[in-house]
Amino acid sequence: MAPETMSLTRAGEYEWRIEPTGDMRVPAILYADETLIREMDDKVFEQARNVATLPGIVRACYAMPDAHWGYGFPIGGVAAFDAEAGGVVSAGGVGFDISCGVRTMLTDVEAPHIRRQQRELAEALFKKVPAGVGSHGAIRLSIEEMHDMLLGGADWAVRSGWGEACDLERIEEHGCMKSGDPAFISDKAKTRQRPEMGTLGSGNHYLEVQEVNEVFDEAAAEAFGLTLGRIVVTIHCGSRGLGHQVGTEFLAEMAVAAKEQGIALPDRELACAKINSELGQRYLGAMWAAINCALANREIIGHFAREVFDEIFPGARLDLLYDVSHNTCKVERHVIDGEEKSLFVHRKGATRAFGPGHPDLPAGLKEIGQPVLIGGSMGTGSFVLAGTTTSEDRALSSACHGAGRRMSRHQALKSWHGRQVVDDLAAKGIIIRSRSARGIAEEAPGAYKDVTAVVDATEHAGLAKKVARLVPLVCIKG
C-alpha cells in the first residue's frame, strides 16, 4: 500500500479508520472494500484527516465508497459540527456546485415504446433542455422573480407554472429551504443565474432516459414504483452559475476570516467560519438560498421533460419518485453518545439516506426509507437505493452519490475521443447528445470507478440497501 494508505486501520470488511493523531479531534472513517481503498488517491486520506481537525466536529469525518480528491473536503466526504461547541461551517465542505443533486421521475411508458422513438425523443429533449458550459435557456428572471425563486425553491417553480404541486412532497425539505436569504447573495451571482434557469450545465450533469433492468428488493421496488422494463427519467444538476459564485466569494472571505476567528487551517481550501459568527450566518443564508435555486432548477427541467414526453407519447405521466441533493450543509437532529443534538451536517458528494421511520419522510416512503439516487458513469447504469436504520450510526444517515472519478478530466482526454465514446455507446443501444465532444471524452465511462462495486460496498457497509438498477437509453450531457 501507499504511505498514506498505511495509516489506515481495518475495522471491518468495509470499514477503515484513521485514528486521531496530531491536531485531529476525531477519527476519519472510510467505507469501502479493499479494491476501492487501493484505488483511492492518497489525497483522500490527507483531506479526511484535515477535516477531522476542524473545531466542533462531532464523532468522525466520514468518506463514502466513491470518495476521491476534491476542493477542501474529499468528494464523498461527510462531517457534522456542533455550533454550541464552537463548530464551523465550511464552503469547501459544501462545494462550488451547491445542492447538485439527482431527481428521478417514474413514467408509465414501457421500454419497447421508447426504443421505437428513441432518436426522436433524444433530439426533442436535447432541444428542450439547454446543456453545456454557459448554457442559457428561454427563461429570464426579473429582479423580483430572482428574489422569489431564491426564497421559494421548487415551490416557487410550481407556483410559476413549471411543475406539479404533488412533486413537493417528494423533494427534500418539501422543495424549499425556508432559511435561505437572497440578501446574502451578490448581484454578480444573481446576474449569472438570470438566464440559466432550466439548464443542465456542463461536466457530469445529465438528463437520462433509463430502463429498470434489475430489481434487488421487491418490497422496496414496489413501494418506489420501480418494475422491470419501466422507463424513468433522471436529472442530475445543481445551482449553476449562482452556486459557483456563492462558493467562490465565501471561500475567499472565509480564508481571511478563519485566522481572525482563531481557526488554524491545515489546508487553505478548508476555509471556514464559526457557525455562530456573522460570516457563518451570512454564508448559511446564501448557501440555503442557492439550494433553493437548485431545487427550482431541477423542478423546471422536470417540467420540460414532461412536456417532451407528452408531445411524443400523448398522455404519458412522469411522477416524481424523489429529488435529493448531495452538496449541502443542513441542520439535522442526530444522536451522539446517547444525546440527540442539532448538528450542521456537511455532505460533499454524499447523499442523505434517512432510514425507515424518519419523521422527515412522507407517508408513502416512511416504511421503506428514503430513496437514495446514485448516478453511474455515462452509459454504465445507475442505481436506486433505500436508506437504512443502521446508516444513522454508521455515517449520520449518509451514503455514496455516484461512481466517483478514478482519473482526472485531463487524463480522460488523453485516453478517449468524444466521437469514439458516442459510437461505442450507440453500439450498445445508448444515444448520447451533447454540444461538446471534449465534454463527452472527459466523462467517458472508463474515467469512473465501477459503480456496481461502489454500491455493493455501500450496502455491505450498512449505509443503504440496493433496490433497483437502471440502464440508460438516452443521455443528454452537459
Catalytic residue set: 401
Buried-state track 371-397, b at ≥16 Cβ within 10 A, e below 16: bbbbbbbbbbbbbbbbbbeebbebbbb
DSSP label at 428? T
Nearest Cα neighbor of 236 from 279, 194, 294 is 294
319 close to 225: Cβ distance less than 8 angstroms: yes
Q: How far apart are CA 138 and CA 475, in angstroms?
A: 21
Cell of 366: 416512511
Burial class (CB in 10 A: 0-12, 13-18, 19+), 142: exposed
> Is the separation of the CB atoms in 320 and 306 below 8 Å?
no
Three-state DSSP at 276 gives coil
Answer for the pair 43, 326: CB distance below 8 angstroms, yes or no. no
Neighbouring residues of 447: CB distance < 8 A, sequence distance ≥ 6? 377, 405, 406, 407, 409, 411, 412, 415, 416
| Nine cell digits for residue 69 | 480528491
**Cell digits of residue 192:** 449569472
Q: From CA 398, how far away is CA 29, in angstroms rounded?
A: 13
As beta bridge partners, residue 210 has 232, 472
Helices (H), 321-401: 363-366, 391-395
What is the length of the chain? 478
